[in-house]
Amino acid sequence: MEENMSKPRTHHSKISLILKGAAMGIAEVIPGVSGGTIAFITGIYEDLIDTISGVDQNTVWDILKLRFSNVWVSLNGPFLLYLIIGMVGGILAGVFGVTKLLENYPEALWALFFGLIIASIPLMFSQMQNRKWGHAIPFIIGAAIAYLITSISPAAGSTNMAYIFLAGVIAISAFVLPGISGSFILLLMGLYTVVIPTIKAFLESPELSELLLISVFALGCLTGLAFFSRIVSAAFKNYHDITITVMSGFMFGSLNKIWPWRNPTAILNKDTSVISPIDSNNISTFSITDKNIKIVKEINVLPSDYFSDPCTVYVIAAFVVGIMLVGGLYFMQKSRI
């Protein structure tokens, strides 16, 4: 227990943590964007991973013994509290605000995140202690893995509880690994239309079967979080520079999923769970903004080949804003505000 309590923590101001938490919360609402990416960009990633991986049997024992002061210290209480406050606010803002932008100005919103990630990769490289040309290899490997994951076609899902548990373990990796979206992982495993509707249904009219599925999924998430956070924390401690390059590669490879101009090639009907192919000939028969429709596969195109108005001026402006935001976040880190 003493090891956790004496572990040095990086200083972050309350305002800084709330703002960074809000950015993470907003990112979690947007499919294809990972909260882990934002944590990496804003410089709190290692502290977050260390905080999560610091939870052990001593922490659980302190909770059972009602030693809340020890729990507060071992969980890095001030850091976690203000980060969660920001995340809750960000999620609410995302649900009521950002989703509207995604419906009406998707190209500009994707361009904003594209700019954020592009500008952040050199910033991540600057955190390396001893840069070498050999680090290009783990960067390429990380980029290739993220690119392949974001290019996979969705699979058929299952309500088998073992599969639900496994989905929780894998999906939570999106919170630990930057560049990969948790909602996209659920989509790949065919469980987006199982888990999300079940949670909504339970909140509206609780049923025991829904509670069971949610509990199994949550248990999978907790297991995955404990497992992956310890692996990543150990990787940072023992292979800091290589871990930075792999994570940066993940972010670079994820750009495939947030290119501003993407034509849908397959959509999912949430009511029937049927995936339908679409192209330029039948695109007009579907309403992509329909809440019962979710795009599950897309192809990146140039503005001239885009199905809709490419909004090129807005896209460029949003891209520049994304780059400027990273500059502002970097200034916040240096100024400790």
Please indicate, yes or no, whether residues 185 and 63 belong to a single structural domain of this protein.
yes
Please indicate, yes or no, whether residues 178 and 235 belong to a single structural domain of this protein.
yes
Domains held by the chain: number: 2
Q: Sorting pLDDT into bands at 50, 70 and 90, what band is 6? A: very low
Residue 210: Cβ within 10 Å count = 18
pLDDT over 90 at 97, yes or no: no
Report the range out of 113-127, 174-188, 194-208, 277-291 with the highest average pLDDT.
Answer: 113-127
Please indicate, yes or no, whether residues 100 and 168 belong to a single structural domain of this protein.
yes
Please indicate, yes or no, whether residues 286 and 201 belong to a single structural domain of this protein.
no
The residue with greater pLDDT, 337 or 121, is 121
Q: Sorting pLDDT into bands at 50, 70 and 90, what band is 141? A: very high
Domain housing 130: 2-260+312-335
Q: Sorting pLDDT into bands at 50, 70 and 90, what band is 319? A: very high
The residue with greater pLDDT, 281 or 46, is 46
Please indicate, yes or no, whether residues 188 and 54 belong to a single structural domain of this protein.
yes
pTM: 0.71
| E strand or H helix that includes residue 297 | strand 293-300
Task: Determine the Cα–Cα distance for residues 218 and 20; give it in Å rounded to an integer.
Answer: 25
Q: Which two tokens stand for residue 224?
A: 């995955």
Question: Rg for the chain (alpha carbons), in Å?
Answer: 20
Please indicate, yes or no, whether residues 163 and 299 belong to a single structural domain of this protein.
no
pLDDT score recorded for residue 10:
55
Task: Determine the Cα–Cα distance for residues 139 and 247; give it in Å rounded to an integer.
Answer: 8
Please indicate, yes or no, whether residues 247 and 302 belong to a single structural domain of this protein.
no
Residues 6+ apart with CB under 8 A from 256: 146, 147, 150, 151, 300
Please indicate, yes or no, whether residues 134 and 275 belong to a single structural domain of this protein.
no
| Residues 103 and 289: beta-carbon distance below 8 Å | yes
